[in-house]
Chain A
């Protein structure tokens, strides 16, 4: 279990007009600002347009005796736009949310929802039975149930008293 969630650097807070707490923060901010500007495409401006930002849906991992359960919050997806793959003990959930053209001609007041691709990979803590993996998509949450392989299940060892 060595998965650390990627936190997007908040470049907007690096704007010098904002209060900077300490010298260390200031240096960090200088770095972020420079790289942020390097990665910023020329036609974009303002927050929310830097390439460093992205869609990283929250992923949870649960366990019971029989199986591992991975949950990902991916609201508003189409079933066919979600891909799940298992490779070498790593489960990868990826997909793409396409732009809805219904309101393409309308005026946009707020656009906070992410569009485009996401990919999350989670390291599984034990062997699973790859043929019995099941996935369900309900209320915008993807739930992948991975039954544990026989050798990974906890075993009760009976003690005989003589």
Chain B
């Protein structure tokens, strides 16, 4: 499929899942008073034992990443490294930092969330607690 996005196979949004708080992808939004943020594009997957969130944060490295969790609300902030000091002839990219807020499924074991960032892609693994994971019961 050239130049397209893979359509989500299920549109089960907000349903006990990692939910999104604003519905405008990739545009500036005012948050924290006057600061403007960009909403990063994300993919969210669910497997039987975890959720996986991938967010596009071009220009953000490990030091510029700030992931915080408060009462099942996950906030991702990505600060970009400083712009090159050269003379701008033409510019399409935005200099604003990234921010996006998600409400987490209560089934997520918040103590075990793991994050890594590679080439501008944040990969967040959100494991579910043991008791909600499917398990096989063997018959003696």
Using CB atoms and an 8 Å cutoff, list the residues of chain A in contact with chain B. 1, 3, 5, 44, 46, 48-49, 51, 53-55, 58-64, 68-69, 71, 73-77, 99, 103, 105-118, 122, 125, 137-141
Which A-chain residue is minimally distant from B90 (CB atoms)?
A61
Interface segment, one of B29-37, B57-65, B130-138: B57-65
Instruction: Tell me the smallest distance from the CB of B85 to a CB of chain A, in Å.
Output: 8
Which B-chain residue is minimally distant from A71 (CB atoms)?
B93
Q: How many A-B residue pairs have CB under 8 A?
A: 157
Which 10 residue pairs are nearest across A and B when measured between Cβ atoms?
A: A140-B120, A75-B120, A62-B86, A76-B121, A54-B3, A58-B92, A140-B58, A112-B41, A73-B58, A109-B44
Which A-chain residue is minimally distant from B61 (CB atoms)?
A139
Enumerate B12-51 residues with CB–CB distance to A below 8 Å: 12-13, 17-18, 20, 25-26, 41-47, 51
A107 pairs with B9, CB closer than 8 A: yes
Please, how many angstroms separate the alpha-carbon atoms of A99 and B1 in the complex? 10
Instruction: Tell me the smallest distance from the CB of A103 to a CB of chain B, in Å.
Output: 4
What B residues does A141 contact at CB under 8 A? Answer: 58-59, 120
Question: What interface size band does chain B fall in?
Answer: 35 or more
Contact A115/B4 with A60-B92, A108-B9, A110-B43 known, Cβ cut-off 8 Å: yes
Q: Does B71 contact A (CB under 8 A)?
A: no
Contact A1/B46 with A49-B7, A109-B12 known, Cβ cut-off 8 Å: no
Which B-chain residue is minimally distant from A59 (CB atoms)?
B92
Which B-chain residue is minimally distant from A79 (CB atoms)?
B119
A62 pairs with B59, CB closer than 8 A: no
Please, how many angstroms separate the alpha-carbon atoms of A107 and B60 in the complex? 28
Which A-chain residue is minimally distant from B121 (CB atoms)?
A76
Q: Does B81 contact A (CB under 8 A)?
A: yes
Which B-chain residue is minimally distant from A63 (CB atoms)?
B87
What A residues does B81 contact at CB under 8 A? Answer: 139
| 25 pairs of residues in contact across A and B, judged by CB atoms under 8 Å | A3-B90, A48-B5, A49-B4, A51-B4, A53-B5, A58-B93, A60-B88, A61-B89, A62-B84, A71-B84, A75-B121, A76-B121, A107-B12, A107-B45, A109-B13, A110-B13, A110-B20, A111-B7, A112-B25, A112-B26, A113-B42, A116-B1, A139-B60, A139-B81, A140-B60
Q: Does B124 contact A (CB under 8 A)?
A: no
Contact A115/B25 with A109-B8, A140-B57, A140-B120 known, Cβ cut-off 8 Å: no
B54 pairs with A113, CB closer than 8 A: yes
* A-contact bits for B99-134, CB 8 A (1 contact / 0 none): 000000000000000000011110000000000000
B3 pairs with A116, CB closer than 8 A: yes
